[in-house]
Amino acid sequence: MVSSKVIHWLTAVVSILLSGLFYLFSRMKCLHPHCVETYAKDSITMLYTFYLIFIFITTLLCKLIPRLPFKIRYWLEKDLPTSLCLGWFQGSLLELLTLFAVLGLITVNFIFYWNLMLSVSNDLLAEKDYWNAALMGSGHMGDVLLGLLLIPLGRHSFLPSLLNIHFDSALRFHKRCGTLFCLISILHGFVIWTKVTRFLNPPSYFYWTFNIGVQGQKWIFYVSNAGFMTTFGFIAGIALSIIWIFSFSIIRRRLYNLFYIIHILFGPLMIISASFHTSSIWYYCMPGAFLLSIDWIIRLYNYRKQRKGLIRREECGYLRIDIFDKIDFNLASFIMIKIEELGYQISHPFTIANDANEDYLVLLIKPSLLTSKWTNQLAKLLPSDCLSKEITVRIDGSFGFLKFQISKMNLVACFVGGIGISGALAIASHILKRDSGPSLVFIFWAAREANAEKLSVLQQLMNRQDSRLHIYLFGHAANFSFDHKIKNKDEILTMEEERNISETLRYDIQTNGIKGSLERMIPDDLLQQIVLPCVTTSEKIGIYTCGPKSLMDSVQKACENARKRANIYLHRESFEW
């Protein structure tokens, strides 16, 4: 893997390059007479400097915040209450402040260009001049947002790890900037431009967008009435619309590979077309373009190495992959993985299920029932009569980190669903191997698979027979003790008998130290009745949750209800976006 020192040096070199190149490019001749440089030579220099200052200050804060006292840092990074976490307000206080800073940055651009266009107008009272000023100002708001969008803040980008930004926060920043960019592009390219064409002669939207009806030569820079500017703007708008449509969660989650390919194909088309539409796009996109180039170079460098792995099927149906190689990774972080035997594919993220001090990696994967899914194809590599098989993998990462420091916690509780158990197992393994740190660790696991308690990594933890570890299973996974209560599996039970069996199985099933319940996991009850009685008011509780959004929301709500009784530090690890 590329070392952090190399990444720091590459980032420093990029910053030096960016600090000088924008001034050189801003002095080049504009491609069309509508550029703002035509009216004010130093306007782009001043506003682009504001943009770079914004990026620099944001980067500096990301590096300084981890050095603040732990309690202050946590209050800045902790998720806002669920009652406020609707739509754009989801996330931490720091994310919300960043959103307001972005809104302030684009507002400054709008006001500046609004005043600039009115200052060069012949008639300040003309309605056309006000709409032209709004057209220019809204366009440059989009320039800033496109520049922010290009900064690599994806799930498998080096920048979030380098700046100590959790990838959930990074993706929310990207999503917010993208949504703002789409909305402002609609306002600029359709609403305002349609209004402006009413003041032109002739007042035709198609005439001024596609040169329809222009006499003589077309597509000659600086010459034709409509020019090429609006046509390229229209092309950029179409490309953006396609990207935006495939970014909706209902489409993205079902067709992720197509969503990824759409980004790869239409993203460059949109940027190139937008650059012909307005020259300032080049300046604002430079920081992100340089960093994105470095991100791809690092990714290709990491994927170059082939590693050997061993895949086997667990009794509960999960797949376990052991990768016999030493890499540096944080606790409960994830890696991006490609498997040679499956041919060309997009890399997939999986949480590492073992402690960071091991000389190997353990991944747990739940195969999908859909034959088109990558995990289903992975399961087919291992026939039902085959115990294990050697595979060839390529790795990028690791990525991610815990928001709370394990060593500072008095107790850690993990509320996880399904394959979210991976992060909880890594945390528990880390705690049990040390004499200092949390005095107790709880794992509350909701799973649908029978024999879930026989998961090999889980059994390795139980074999330590450490009194600090307490594990609870919920849902179908708790049915492993059902057979001990019913002699005849074909026996038809009455509702009363089923109710009695369910009551006897609640919180008292004990098989190899694992307790279980046939009922649904209720985080608020578990936190109040099991976790909180183990600590005092002044002690710290670290909460880790990973699984479906509904589970994580209920865990967050439970933490909010319990904050008066203990110092609770919550970490959410999303399954999907």
Judge if 117 and 165 occupy the same domain: yes
Distance CA 329, CA 356 (A): 6
Contacts 24+ apart (CB under 8 A), 179-186: 179/88, 180/102, 180/103, 180/106, 180/145, 181/142, 181/145, 181/146, 181/149, 181/240, 182/240, 182/241, 182/244, 184/106, 184/138, 184/141, 184/142, 184/145, 185/142, 185/237, 185/240
Q: Which of 301, 335, 370 is the last residue of a domain?
A: 301
111 vs 505, more confident: 111
Judge if 285 and 371 occupy the same domain: no
pLDDT at residue 511 in the model: 38
Position 264 in a domain? yes
Tokens of 89: 């307000």
* Element spanning 503, H or E: helix 495-505
Distance CA 324, CA 310 (A): 8
Judge if 383 and 413 occupy the same domain: no
Domain that holds residue 395: 307-399
Judge if 430 and 380 occupy the same domain: no
Judge if 395 and 411 occupy the same domain: no
Position 152 in a domain? yes
Position 454 in a domain? yes
Identify the weakest region by mean pLDDT among 323-337, 480-494, 563-577: 480-494
Q: Averaged over 116-122, what is the pLDDT?
A: 76
What percent of the chain stands above pLDDT 90? 8
Distance CA 341, CA 545 (A): 33
Q: Which of 283, 301, 319 is the last residue of a domain?
A: 301
Q: Does residue 494 carry a pLDDT above 60?
A: no
74 vs 130, more confident: 130
562 band by pLDDT with thresholds 50, 70 and 90:
confident
Q: Averaged over 46-62, what is the pLDDT?
A: 84
Number of domains in the chain: 3
Judge if 365 and 431 occupy the same domain: no
Judge if 390 and 469 occupy the same domain: no
Q: Does residue 40 carry a pLDDT above 70?
A: no
Position 312 in a domain? yes
Cis link prior to 367 (omega < 30° from 0)?
no
Kindly provide the b/e burial profile for residues 336-362, where b requires at least 16 CB atoms within 10 angstroms of the residue's own CB: bbbbeeeeeeebbbbbbbbbbeeeebb
Position 83 in a domain? no
Q: Does residue 542 carry a pLDDT above 50?
A: yes
Position 85 in a domain? no
pLDDT digits (tens, 9 = 90+) for 191-236: 888 888 888 777 777 777 766 555 444 444 444 444 577 788 888 9
Q: Does residue 169 carry a pLDDT above 90?
A: no
pLDDT at residue 146 in the model: 93
Judge if 330 and 287 occupy the same domain: no
Kindly provide the b/e burial profile for residues 428-461, where b requires at least 16 CB atoms within 10 angstroms of the residue's own CB: bbbbbeeeebbebbbbbbbbebbebbbbbbbeeb
Identify the weakest region by mean pLDDT among 37-46, 283-292, 353-362, 363-372: 37-46
pLDDT digits (tens, 9 = 90+) for 234-279: 889 999 999 999 888 888 877 877 888 898 899 999 998 888 888 7
Q: Are 349 and 156 in contact (CB under 8 A)?
A: yes
pLDDT, averaged across the chain? 78
Distance CA 82, CA 397 (A): 31
CATH of residue 315's domain is: 2.40.30.10
Q: Does residue 461 carry a pLDDT above 90?
A: no
145 band by pLDDT with thresholds 50, 70 and 90:
very high
Q: Averaged over 391-419, what is the pLDDT?
A: 86
Q: How far is CA 225 from CA 51, 131, 207, 219, in A?
A: 33, 19, 9, 10
149 band by pLDDT with thresholds 50, 70 and 90:
very high
What percent of the chain stands above pLDDT 70? 79
- Tally of CA atoms within 13 A in the half-sphere of 46 that contains its CB: 11
Judge if 344 and 227 occupy the same domain: no
Judge if 245 and 129 occupy the same domain: yes
pLDDT at residue 512 in the model: 43
Q: Which of 382, 399, 416 is the last residue of a domain?
A: 399
Judge if 129 and 174 occupy the same domain: yes
Position 84 in a domain? no
Work out the number of other CB atoms within 10 angstroms of the CB of residue 26.
19
pLDDT at residue 453 in the model: 77
Contacts 24+ apart (CB under 8 A), 52-61: 52/18, 52/19, 52/22, 52/287, 54/101, 54/105, 55/151, 55/287, 58/98, 58/101, 59/163
Position 166 in a domain? yes
Q: Does residue 472 carry a pLDDT above 60?
A: yes
Judge if 177 and 125 occupy the same domain: yes
CATH of residue 504's domain is: 3.40.50.80
Q: Averaged over 335-342, what is the pLDDT?
A: 85
Q: What is the crossing angle of helices 93-119 and 43-64, to 10°?
A: 170
pLDDT at residue 434 in the model: 80
pLDDT at residue 334 in the model: 87
415 vs 464, more confident: 415
pLDDT at residue 415 in the model: 92
Q: Does residue 513 carry a pLDDT above 90?
A: no
Q: Does residue 293 carry a pLDDT above 50?
A: yes
Q: Does residue 486 carry a pLDDT above 70?
A: no
Q: Averaged over 312-338, what is the pLDDT?
A: 83
Q: Does residue 296 carry a pLDDT above 60?
A: yes
